[in-house]
Amino acid sequence: MKCPKKRCLVVGASGGLGTFLMKLLQRHKNVNVVAVCSGKHSDKMKRLGATEVVDYAHSPFEEQLKDQDSFDVVFDFVGGTDVEYGGRKVLKRGGKFITGVGPRKAIGDRVLSCSEWYGWAFGLLWRIVRGCFVGHAYEMAGAMPPVKEDDFIRTVVDTGARPEIALEVSWEEDALREAIRKVASRHTGGKFVINMEPNGGGDERVGE
């Protein structure tokens, strides 16, 4: 008997982590992937294996998906309670909500105060514990640093998956400032790399 395809929703699919995950999911034949991102990245998402692209600018993604089958897994690379609420609405019972950010949106934009950090940590812990008693699990993606060599080899080297490179910039002040501004906007469409060679030549690059 042929097993039904797993349905996965990727929120924030067009960013650096999102495109990396899309490439990993693309290697699994039994997965149906729906990407949530800006509509301008639709062609890229289809190239990376998305069967459907949901433009968050039109309306909340859960509203656009309410008449479709529920999802087995929702991956969140945006963060915040709005994505968490929307993810719960489209998850099937027994599904998983896996976040790379947590309950606070844009967690890395600034240094959190002590109370803010504890609020984020306890909010995350409460959601994980609550997941044991409600219809779906809540998980924080990623292992605690340092990254283990075996995990890196298995995930990155063996699969050959790489995030999309959205822009390469030269080692010049104006170019670097513009790159930092775009990264801070959280609408990069992939990773940025810095070309360390004078005059923009050579192959040595440093990731975003």
What is the chain's Cα-based Rg?
Answer: 18
- pLDDT level of residue 205 (50, 70, 90 thresholds): very low
5-36 pLDDT, tens per residue? 799 999 999 888 888 899 889 888 889 999 99
Report the C-alpha gap between 165 and 14 in whole angstroms: 11
135-177 pLDDT, tens per residue? 889 998 865 455 566 666 666 666 666 677 777 888 888 888 8
Q: Is 112 exposed, middle or buried (0-12, 13-18, 19+ CB in 10 A)?
A: middle
How far apart, in Å, are the Cα atoms of 10 and each of 23, 41, 108?
12, 13, 20
DSSP β-bridge partners for residue 140:
99
Report strand pairing: 31-37 vs 6-11: parallel
HSE-CB at 18 with a 13 A cutoff on CA atoms is 31
Report strand pairing: 191-195 vs 205-207: antiparallel
Across 166-190, average pLDDT: 77
Tokens of 18: 């999102």
Tokens of 179: 């790159």
| pLDDT for the residue 143 | 55
79-135 pLDDT, tens per residue? 889 999 999 999 999 999 999 888 887 666 667 788 888 888 888 899 989 888 888
Q: Where are the alpha helices (DSSP H) in 91-172?
A: 114-130, 149-152
Instruction: Judge whether residue 179 has pLDDT over 90.
Output: no
| pLDDT for the residue 7 | 94
CB 95 within 8 A of CB 69: no
Q: What is the model's pTM?
A: 0.77
